[in-house]
């Protein structure tokens, strides 16, 4: 783990005042390296089947409620912290927990957030209409401004996607909250916001802790924000003797993901901050350039969105303006956007302000798996 790292467990709960039991629907580790500064968000499947220290084998999303119901010292968050340390070797310094109402309140306090939707999403709206029915809500690919209720629906939808896709959407919402807070220049107002948000979250952090993190967030370059998942390649689906569907950790594959997520920023990613990409939308599909730009930024590339010379490109094209193949990002960009070598054009141009131009064509797959 990188020196001076601060690990924060960010928990989303379905807890209700009238419920004696609940589950932790979202478990994310936000690992902060203050001096770079850099942040990695590591998402953990809520159905990961692990040992709850002092109890038994169970889904990781039961650790919080066990700690509360059985009087564990420090409560549910303390037991979840021990569970993460015992099973994944992740030391947790602080936790933040919110429920549905708190989540909605945070988003609405920001007047909504902008979410780049790469894959069409459709699911039942959780609130009945005037006929008592639950209508289907759908989002097409594009950038959507969502209020609190819509953002919660987006983060929790399961009907047409996997649990791993849901975790990536939750990461998007966390990123959108940070972007919105910084765009509204709210970070210097932390002391005032701290007091008004106390009923939306539960945390062990002090105002001094929050102020430190706000300073990091203010200095943070988005290219130094990474997102990692314990995904389907790191787990084995299994059915418990009682019939529950869970994921067994494949420890040989989980270990490298955790180590990389909590380690220093890789040298290869740091090089990408010097490799600027100019994105053109060569189609009539609105906001495809913004979706491509979002994908690039999430991988550490500086991005400009330019005005295309035309809108009838049938295929996506990558123009390489660099003068050397050493450290080239071309193979990486080809893989990211599914570009064949025939559609890579080398045009060495030392005076260009960008290193690459990505022209989105009609063959672009907005929903291509990361």
Parts of the chain with a pLDDT under 70: 15-21, 187-188, 267-273, 369-370
The span from the CA of 280 to the CA of 24, in Å, is 41
Given a contact cutoff of 8 angstroms between Cβ atoms, the answer to whether 169 and 120 are in contact is: no
Return the DSSP state at 187.
Answer: G
Please give the domain boundaries of the chain with CATH numbers for all domains: 6-265 (3.40.630.190), 270-360 (3.30.70.2390)
Sign for the pseudo-dihedral over CA of 59, 61, 62, 67: positive
The span from the CA of 166 to the CA of 146, in Å, is 16
Structure tokens at 3: 């020196």
Cβ-Cβ contacts under 8 Å for 296 (sequence gap 6 or more): 277, 279, 303, 336, 358
> Which three-class secondary structure state does DSSP give residue 351?
coil
Nearest to 53 by CA among 74, 65, 67: 67
How far is CA 158 from each of CA 130, 153, 167, 182, 210, rounded to the nearest angstrom?
24, 9, 10, 30, 33
Global pTM reads 0.87
The span from the CA of 42 to the CA of 254, in Å, is 12
Q: What is the DSSP string of 307-328?
A: PPS-S--SS-EEEE--S--TT-
What phi and psi values does residue 30 have, to the nearest 5 degrees? -100, 110
Q: What pLDDT score was predicted for residue 18?
A: 54
State pLDDT tens for residues 14-73: 766 555 567 888 999 999 999 889 999 999 999 999 999 999 999 999 999 999 889 899
What phi and psi values does residue 311 have, to the nearest 5 degrees? -120, 20
How long a stretch of residues is the chain?
Answer: 370
Q: What pLDDT score was predicted for residue 42?
A: 96
For the chain, the straight-line distance linking the first and the last C-alpha, in angstroms and rounded, comes to 25
The span from the CA of 76 to the CA of 370, in Å, is 33
């Amino acid at each position: 783990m990188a020196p001076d790292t601060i690990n924060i467990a960010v928990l989303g709960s379905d807890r209700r005042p009238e419920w004696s039991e609940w589950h932790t629907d979202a478990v994310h580790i936000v690992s902060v390296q203050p001096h770079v500064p850099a942040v990695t968000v590591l998402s953990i499947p809520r159905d990961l089947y692990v040992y709850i220290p002092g109890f038994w084998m169970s889904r990781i999303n039961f650790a919080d409620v066990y700690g509360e119901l059985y009087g564990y010292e420090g409560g549910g968050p303390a037991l979840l912290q021990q569970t993460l340390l015992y099973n994944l070797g992740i030391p947790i310094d602080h936790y933040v927990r919110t429920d549905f109402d708190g989540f909605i309140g945070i988003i609405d306090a920001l007047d909504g957030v902008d979410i780049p939707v790469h894959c069409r999403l459709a699911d039942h709206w959780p609130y009945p209409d005037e006929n008592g029915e639950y209508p289907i809500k759908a989002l097409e690919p594009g950038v959507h401004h969502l209020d609190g209720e819509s953002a919660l629906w987006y983060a929790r939808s399961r009907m047409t996607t996997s649990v791993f896709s849901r975790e990536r959407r939750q990461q998007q919402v966390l990123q959108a909250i940070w972007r919105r807070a910084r765009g509204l220049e709210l970070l210097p107002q932390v002391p005032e916001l701290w007091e008004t948000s106390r009923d939306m979250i539960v945390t062990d952090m002090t105002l001094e802790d929050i102020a430190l993190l706000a300073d990091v967030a203010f200095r943070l370059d988005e290219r130094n924000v990474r997102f990692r998942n314990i995904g389907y390649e790191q787990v084995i689906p299994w059915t418990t003797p009682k019939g529950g569907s869970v994921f067994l950790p494949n420890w040989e594959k989980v270990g490298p993901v955790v180590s990389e997520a909590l380690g220093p920023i890789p040298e290869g990613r740091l090089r990408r901050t010097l490799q600027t990409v100019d994105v053109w939308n060569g189609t009539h599909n609105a906001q495809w350039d913004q979706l491509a730009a979002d994908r690039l930024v999430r991988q550490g590339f500086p991005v400009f969105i330019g005005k295309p010379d035309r809108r009838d490109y049938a295929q996506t094209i990558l123009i390489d303006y660099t003068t050397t193949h050493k450290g080239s990002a071309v193979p990486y960009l080809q893989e990211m956007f599914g570009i064949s070598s025939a559609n890579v054009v080398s045009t060495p141009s030392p005076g260009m302000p960008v290193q690459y131009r990505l022209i989105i064509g009609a063959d672009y797959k907005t929903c291509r798996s990361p």
